[in-house]
Amino acid sequence: MSFEIAKQAIDYLLDEKRNFQEDGVIWDFIGGEPFLEIDLIEKICNYAKLEMYRRNHKWFNNYRFNFSTNGLNYHESRIQKFIEENHSHLSIGITIDGTKLKHNLNRIYRNGKGSYDDVVKNIPLWQKQFPKEGTKVTISSDDIPYIKESVLHLYDLGIHEIHINCVFEDVWKEGDDKNFEKQLVELADEIIDNDLYKDFSCSFYSEDIGKPLKDNGNWCGAGMMLAVDASGFFYPCLRFAAYSLRSKKPIVIGNVKDGIDQNKLRPFLTLNRTTQSRQECIDCEVAGGCAWCQGENYDAADTNTIYQRSVAICKMHKARVRANNYFWNKLYRKLELQGTRDDFEKNRRKVKPIVC
Ligand code: SF4
């Protein structure tokens, strides 16, 4: 993205107060490796800050810059200078997939060498600067055998919060749900038997999931946020850009020059659970926490619709719910026996799932 495109996008967002009435803003840099372009990013962030201030915009008092990085150049002086200057308005997540073996399966340099060693040496600095930040792990079929050891390894590295979720694409093989449940039950045993639940959390286990749903909201924020690509086109979420889609055409809802075309945005504003779910999902006894991705719904749908929910994740969610019930059952029995349940409920960490 050129600075000019970023500038036009910022100007549009700040000018259009009528369409963007939120109390705060998150400027999220995602896609590729943002810290490779730290000079450009610094220029963009400085412009956003200056313009929010100059226009006396309410977001000046409530803004955040968000980065997902592979962490390889995190220690470099230019990155560290940027962090120092913006620390109180920054969220930075370093992506590390788990053990060295697991991480190096996918995260390799051009020459095929794994990147694990170079990421791991930056974890202590990152955790010192952002002790509350967790890491995000995404599970696909081939990753299932590594779940338990990977989460425990991330705890060993000092990362306290693990945000983890299954991909939404239809990648699941026969028996994956059983193996997934087994991994989650074994991980639950490790967390509870070794008292790790006191200091660490993993988003797979949540008391809020696995119940019938009354709420009719949309799971995903597509249409409620704005994604801008390098050419200045607007999307309801980056999953509707051409580079994110397998089989459908991109859905462009505007651009930095002409702004948002409200007619193109309108279908996204009517999305909720019932407008896109089949009856089985409406009636489902364990629907709570069963997520969907609007971009994947569109990509996997039989026609060019955003109103057909993909349920490729169904058996994995049900397996997660069974393991989750096991986790809380075992933990509360232990705490009741110790007489420490009240203390735990008062002081524990809660992790919200991040699903994109
Ligand atoms: S996808 Fe499956 S688990 Fe999820 S709500 Fe629908 S029926 Fe329930």
User: For residue 270, how far is its CA from the centre of ligand 1 (angstroms)?
Assistant: 21
Please check whether residue 213 is in contact with residue 287, taking contact to mean a CB–CB distance below 8 angstroms: yes
User: Backbone dihedral region of 290: left (phi > 0), alpha (psi from -120 to 50 degrees) or beta?
Assistant: beta
Q: Is ligand 1 within 6 A of the CB of residue 281?
A: yes
Please check whether residue 308 is in contact with residue 301, taking contact to mean a CB–CB distance below 8 angstroms: yes
* Whole-angstrom distance, CA of residue 143 vs CA of residue 184: 13
* Whole-angstrom distance, CA of residue 159 vs CA of residue 92: 13
* Whole-angstrom distance, CA of residue 195 vs CA of residue 203: 17
- Please tell me the predicted confidence (pLDDT) of residue 307: 97
- Please tell me the predicted confidence (pLDDT) of residue 350: 59
- Please tell me the predicted confidence (pLDDT) of residue 353: 47
Q: Is ligand 1 within 6 A of the CB of residue 318?
A: yes
Residue 232 DSSP one-character state: S
* Whole-angstrom distance, CA of residue 100 vs CA of residue 157: 12
pTM of the model as a whole: 0.90
Q: Is ligand 1 within 6 A of the CB of residue 290?
A: yes
Strand, coil or helix: 209: coil
Identify the helix (H) or strand (E) that includes residue 163.
strand 161-166
User: For residue 250, how far is its CA from the centre of ligand 1 (angstroms)?
Assistant: 27
- Please tell me the predicted confidence (pLDDT) of residue 355: 46
User: For residue 215, how far is its CA from the centre of ligand 1 (angstroms)?
Assistant: 15
- Please tell me the predicted confidence (pLDDT) of residue 338: 87
- Please tell me the predicted confidence (pLDDT) of residue 347: 73
- Please tell me the predicted confidence (pLDDT) of residue 351: 52
* Whole-angstrom distance, CA of residue 240 vs CA of residue 254: 12
Please check whether residue 208 is in contact with residue 225, taking contact to mean a CB–CB distance below 8 angstroms: no
Closest C-alpha residue for ligand 1 atom 6: 281
- Please tell me the predicted confidence (pLDDT) of residue 212: 95
Please check whether residue 281 is in contact with residue 311, taking contact to mean a CB–CB distance below 8 angstroms: yes
In ligand 1, the atom with minimum distance to the C-alpha of 313 is 1
Please give the radius of gyration of the chain, using alpha carbons only, rounded to the nearest integer: 21
Sequence letter at residue 224:
M
- Please tell me the predicted confidence (pLDDT) of residue 346: 77
Q: State both tokens at 333.
A: 């029995």
In ligand 1, the atom with minimum distance to the C-alpha of 311 is 1
User: For residue 303, how far is its CA from the centre of ligand 1 (angstroms)?
Assistant: 21
Residues of the chain scoring pLDDT < 70: 349-356
Strand, coil or helix: 29: strand
Q: How far is CA 349 from the centre of its chain?
A: 18
Residue 26: which residues within 8 A CB-CB, separation 6 or more?
63, 64, 65, 66, 91
